[in-house]
Amino acid sequence: MAESSRSRRHRLLLTLRRNLFASPLDGLITLVLLAVCGSGLWFLMHWALIKADWAVVYENVCLYFNGIFPADHVWRSWSWLAVLAALCGLTLWPWPLPRPLMRLLPLLWILSLPIGLVLLASGLGLEPVRSRFWGGLQLTLLLTLGTIALALPLGILLALGRRSSLPLLRWLCTSYIELIRGVPLIAVLFFGQLMIPLFLPEGWTFSRVLRAVLSLGFFVAAYMAEDVRGGLQALPRTQLEAARSLGLSPLKTITLVELPQALRIALPALANQCVASVQNTSLLAYLGLIELLGISRSILANPSYLGRHLEVYLWLALLYWAVCILMTSLARRLERTLNVTGHH
Amino acid sequence: MAASAAPSPPSDSGAQPGDAWSAGPELAVRSQELDKIFSNGFQALRKVDLAVGKGEVVVIMGPSGSGKSTLIRTFNGLETIQGGHLEVLGHHLDADNNQKVVSKIRRHVGMVFQQFNLFPHLSILENVTLAPIWVQKRDRQKVKKDALALLDHVGIREQANKYPSQLSGGQQQRVAIARSLALSPRLMLFDEPTSALDPEKVKEVLETIRTLAAEGMTMVVVTHEVGFAREVADRVVFMDEGMIVEEASPQTFFTDPKEERSKLFLSRIL
Ligand SMILES: Nc1ncnc2c1ncn2[C@@H]1O[C@H](COP(=O)(O)OP(=O)(O)OP(=O)(O)O)[C@@H](O)[C@H]1O
Ligand SMILES: [Mg+2]
């Protein structure tokens, strides 16, 4: 017993030495890196626990999450966030769930956006709240979900159009994709905010939020289209021939045979686009939306929180990071479920 | 619906070769001077004349690249034809493959591929029920029952809820056969159904096809399985360089071939 534990310790020491102190230079590098990391961590902890004043965060929690949503209706905003949290929890639940609930989950996710719109805007007897009162994390998530809900179907259609046998359609889709991919997002967003109103008929107005979702959605769709196209191209031609031989129409071949497989292949890339979309919504702070970054900037503009940038941005980083981690885990979960029921 | 208003006998195609040509009720397939030229200019079929009677089992043999696959793929419209005439189950196919005619033909013609081509994202049962539900629009419950019976018939009922990748090649090919049979086809096309299988799996698939033949199914089978051809085929068709070189009963073809090219081919595979 003692013998083996000593030999194990011996082996551990050997491994450490081989990996970290193989030569004098290696040893030096290891020590320097340790010193840098250690002092960095020490500095951060010292700052976060002693010097930082987190009042700017905890006094404004409601603002970060709900923006300037009217106080007597703010429960609606909280409820929507709670719905999303519950959906995430159910989806990521590591233990088996009742089958009917599992079946219902995709539908619930699809419904999460309309539910959010009802809760935030109006409907079902709720008093209307104008979209300029939406903000904070709630608006960031709404923008993200709206963008995905628009970009995914549009991206699929663009990808299908790009390989259509109709030359005009193919040309249009290809040009659209190439054009959008050649323009920076911020330009598209400015275009959306400033130009969409000019194209609308007299008397029509689109709220800023809708304009933002439209521009983000049309932008992301071009990238998603390329991911879906990659998935479609990865399918062997013989799948198509098998479907055709069974008498499936071109439309049914696409929806029943090609797309389910292509989307599965494209899933990691599509998830990537979704995570990027979360971060891209922050650009809208510069176009007057008070989503997570926007509301933080207004909080920082309050004289009583003068110079509290570091606290706020660290807190923001944490929130964005949490949202992105959640989305990545959701995507991985979906991937795993799909792999269990098919392929490999 | 407009299609059914057109005259139902296959006399609506552009080029009218006259009554003498029409395949008649006793023929499932008839081709006359069939030409296939690929878009790169390569001519894969040269004036192929072939008739397949109802209930007949025709085996096609020939060296690689001789156009065997191309020929049977024209029968269900997977390849267009560039010249000649082709009639399948009473429907005329011509150079500008009418999509409506093609889809009518496909409803009654099953095809089994060398690489099985099952749909990997669907379970075995879903593979078999897909076309009856979405093409024939039949009742799901009934389709499912029939599909299970078919899977039983080809000996893989226990695997119904598995996915294709979980099955052996031989089992996958039998599922592919069941998938085609689910549409109650009147003609089955097989393109080297056993070439991708391990030797010990060949038998089970051939057994399934043999049973089908015994039940009177009309079949065109591309294969190099001589034993199978001898036993099951009514006729052997030997192709080379896009042409039919020799047509004979299996007895004659394997023991006393007429053409030099047939002899050469047989000396290589026997
Ligand atoms: N899409 C295509 N474009 C151009 N040429 C083709 C195409 N498909 C097949 N060919 C050519 O047509 C010829 C006949 O091909 P086919 O697949 O019918 O041969 P096969 O007799 O089935 O051969 P194998 O025994 O190898 O399957 C070959 O020379 C092949 O290279
Ligand atoms: Mg072939």
What are the pLDDT digits (tens) for A195-210?
887 887 777 777 888 8
Q: What's the average model confidence in pLDDT over B44-62?
A: 94
Question: Ligand 1 pocket: which residues have CB below 6 Å?
Answer: B 38, 40, 42, 44, 62, 64-70
Q: Is the pLDDT of residue B18 over 50?
A: no
Ligand 1 nearest-atom number relative to CA B73: 18
Average pLDDT, chain B: 87
Q: Which of B208, B145, B222 is nearest to B177 (CA)?
A: B208
Residues of chain A contacting residue B106, judged by C-beta atoms under 8 Å apart = 244-247
Q: What's the average model confidence in pLDDT over A296-321?
A: 87
Q: What's the average model confidence in pLDDT over B128-136?
A: 94
Integer CA distances (angstroms), B79 to A329, B34, B59, B70, B145, in order: 45, 12, 20, 7, 34
Q: What's the average model confidence in pLDDT over B79-102?
A: 87
Q: Is the pLDDT of residue A184 over 90?
A: yes
What pLDDT is stored for residue A172 in this prediction?
A: 95
What pLDDT is stored for residue B22 in this prediction?
A: 53
Integer CA distances (angstroms), A151 to A80, A156, A199, A216, in order: 22, 8, 21, 8
- pLDDT level of residue B73 (50, 70, 90 thresholds): very high
A343 touches chain B (CB under 8 A): yes
Nearest CA of chain A to the CA of B43: how many Å? Answer: 21
Which ligand has its closest atom nearest to the C-alpha of B73? Answer: 1
Nearest CA of chain A to the CA of B165: how many Å? Answer: 6
The strand order across the sheet containing B235-240 reads: B109-112, B187-191, B218-222, B57-61, B235-240, B243-248
What pLDDT is stored for residue B38 in this prediction?
A: 94
B130 touches chain A (CB under 8 A): yes
Share of chain A above pLDDT 70, in %: 97
**Adjacent-strand bridge partners of B191:** B222
Ligand 1 nearest-atom number relative to CA B68: 21
Which ligand has its closest atom nearest to the C-alpha of B113? Answer: 2
Q: Is the pLDDT of residue A231 over 80?
A: yes
B78 touches chain A (CB under 8 A): yes
A246 with B163: Cβ contact below 8 A: no
Average pLDDT, chain A: 87
The sign of the torsion formed by the CA atoms of B47, B26, A246, B11 equals: positive
Ligand 1 nearest-atom number relative to CA B67: 18
Most confident option among A65-79, A189-203, B43-57:
B43-57
DSSP string, B90-128: TEEE-SS--HHHHHHHHHHEEEE-TT----TTS-HHHHH
Q: Render pLDDT for B143-158 as a digit per residue (tens, 0 to 9).
A: 999 999 999 988 889 9
Measured CA to CA, the distance from residue A237 to residue A99 in angstroms comes to 35
Bridge-based pairing state of the strands B91-93 and B27-37: unpaired
- pLDDT level of residue B9 (50, 70, 90 thresholds): very low
Rounded to the nearest angstrom, the gap between the alpha carbon of residue B256 and the centroid of all alpha carbons in its chain is 27
What pLDDT is stored for residue A125 in this prediction?
A: 74
Contact residues, A window 192-251, toward B, CB-based 8 Å cutoff:
238-239, 241-249
Residues of chain A contacting residue B115, judged by C-beta atoms under 8 Å apart = 238
Q: Render pLDDT for B117-128 as a digit per residue (tens, 0 to 9).
A: 999 999 999 999
Which ligand has its closest atom nearest to the C-alpha of B65? Answer: 1
Find the residue in B nearest to A238 (Cα). B117
Q: Is the pLDDT of residue B14 over 60?
A: no
Range in A44-53, B57-66, B224-233 the model is least confident about: A44-53
Facing A247 at nearest CB: one of B107, B115, B121: B107
Measured CA to CA, the distance from residue B121 to residue B131 in angstroms comes to 15
Find the residue in A nearest to B184 (Cα). A246
Measured CA to CA, the distance from residue B117 to residue B126 in angstroms comes to 14
Residues of chain A contacting residue B134, judged by C-beta atoms under 8 Å apart = 248, 252, 256
- pLDDT level of residue A117 (50, 70, 90 thresholds): confident
Q: Render pLDDT for B236-251 as a digit per residue (tens, 0 to 9).
A: 999 999 999 999 999 9
Nearest CA of chain A to the CA of B221: how many Å? Answer: 16
Q: Which pair of structure tokens corresponds to residue B209? A: 């096809």
Instruction: Return the SS3 of B239.
Output: strand
- What is this model's ipTM? 0.85
More confident residue, B198 or B8: B198
A241 with B113: Cβ contact below 8 A: yes
Q: Are A73 and A129 in contact (CB under 8 A)?
A: yes
Residues of chain A contacting residue B121, judged by C-beta atoms under 8 Å apart = 260-261, 264, 342-343
A255 touches chain B (CB under 8 A): no
B78 with A244: Cβ contact below 8 A: yes
Contact residues, A window 134-153, toward B, CB-based 8 Å cutoff:
none
Ligand 1, from B68, B115, B191, B224: best to mutate by most atoms within 8 Å of Cβ? B68
Q: Render pLDDT for A209-226 as a digit per residue (tens, 0 to 9).
A: 888 999 999 999 999 999
User: How many Cβ pairs within 8 Å bridge chains A and B?
Assistant: 63
Contact residues, B window 110-129, toward A, CB-based 8 Å cutoff:
110-111, 113, 115, 117-123
Cut 0.95: pTM above it: no
B117 with A342: Cβ contact below 8 A: no
Q: Which of B224, B193, B260 is nearest to B62 (CA)?
A: B224
Range in A8-17, A77-86, A117-126 the model is least confident about: A117-126
Q: Is the pLDDT of residue B5 over 60?
A: no
Q: What's the average model confidence in pLDDT over B133-142?
A: 92
Q: Is the pLDDT of residue B41 over 50?
A: yes
Render the burial of A255-287: b for 16+ CB within 10 Å, e for the rest: ebbbbbbbbbbbbeebbbbbbebbebbbbbbeb
What pLDDT is stored for residue B54 in this prediction?
A: 92
Q: Are A191 and A285 in contact (CB under 8 A)?
A: no
A247 with B106: Cβ contact below 8 A: yes
Q: Which pair of structure tokens corresponds to residue A269? A: 């890339």
Q: Which pair of structure tokens corresponds to residue B115? A: 């690489």
Q: Is the pLDDT of residue A70 over 60?
A: yes
Nearest CA of chain A to the CA of B270: how many Å? Answer: 31
Q: Is the pLDDT of residue A145 over 80?
A: yes
Q: Is the pLDDT of residue A344 over 70?
A: no
| Nearest CA, atom 16, ligand 1 | B67
